[in-house]
Amino acid sequence: MKISARNQLRGTVEKVELGVVTAKVGVRVGENLIESVITKQSVEDLNIKVGSEVTAIIKSTEVMLMVD
């Protein structure tokens, strides 16, 4: 599948927290954990579970940075 988004990070699903309508999915990319909130239906349709290999696609008009 081809997609125009440039910010694509391959990782492994580390956690899946299912709610009534949505799900929070944690994806381990190196030392970082990226969390995505998607529909519960999408988790089921894509058969996402702990250990699944996925690509996190980040599409945003803003990127904020912070330093201490």
Containing 40, the helix (H) or strand (E) segment is helix 40-45
Predicted local distance difference test score (pLDDT) of residue 26: 96
Where along the chain do its domains lie? 8-57
Q: What is the CA radius of gyration of the chain?
A: 13
pLDDT tens digits for range 7-66: 899 999 999 999 999 999 999 999 999 999 999 999 999 999 999 999 999 887 777 778
Q: How far apart are CA 66 and CA 68, in angstroms?
A: 7
Residue for token pair 């988790």: 43
**Could you give the residue ranges of the DSSP H alpha helices within 9-58?**
40-45
Count of positions (residues) in the chain: 68
The yes/no answer on whether domain 8-57 falls in CATH 1.20.120.420 is no
Structure letter (DSSP) for residue 49: -
